Homo-oligomer: A and B are copies of this chain.
């Protein structure tokens, strides 16, 4: 996924920001790693490969800016890091975070589902709360870990 330089530039200009090499590179790293939920440190390491002079503080300042511009999403997996990933193109108005977090291997994958719209309208009617955005995290065991466990069990029974 390539970054549209000119669109980025005019998006920045709209809000009085300047286009810089650092901002472009941070956005590019995120665009090149979709659904990778990178931490600031991870973004920093990848940016440094081609831009060794960049500072970690700039990465932190840039992700905040990109969040403001709604170009990226923030994900909190409760492991002490805030993570970022490029926003999906299809669903611009509603940011939908649905993440499957494996409690064994820690792998995180995303999925899409519109089922929660029913929940949201229910909340509106029952409690008078108007939902603007939501975040859903499902914790459990991924396919791979479930299969491994089954294999181990079979092996144990054989012994």
Contact = CB atoms under 8 A, between A and B. Distances in A.
Interface residues of A, number: 35
For A102, A103, A109, A135, which residue has the most chain B Cβ atoms within 10 angstroms?
Answer: A135
Interface of A: 74, 76, 78, 100, 102-103, 109, 111, 113, 115-116, 118-120, 122-123, 126-143, 146
Contact of A129 (B118, B126, B138): B138
Contact of A139 (B109, B131, B142): B131
A14 B74 CA distance: 40
A74 B139 CA distance: 14
Contacts of A137: 134-136
A133 B143 contact: no
Given A115-B118, A134-B139, A135-B136, 14 more contacts: A100-B127, A100-B131, A103-B132, A109-B127, A109-B129, A111-B126, A116-B119, A123-B138, A127-B143, A130-B146, A132-B140, A132-B141, A134-B137, A135-B135
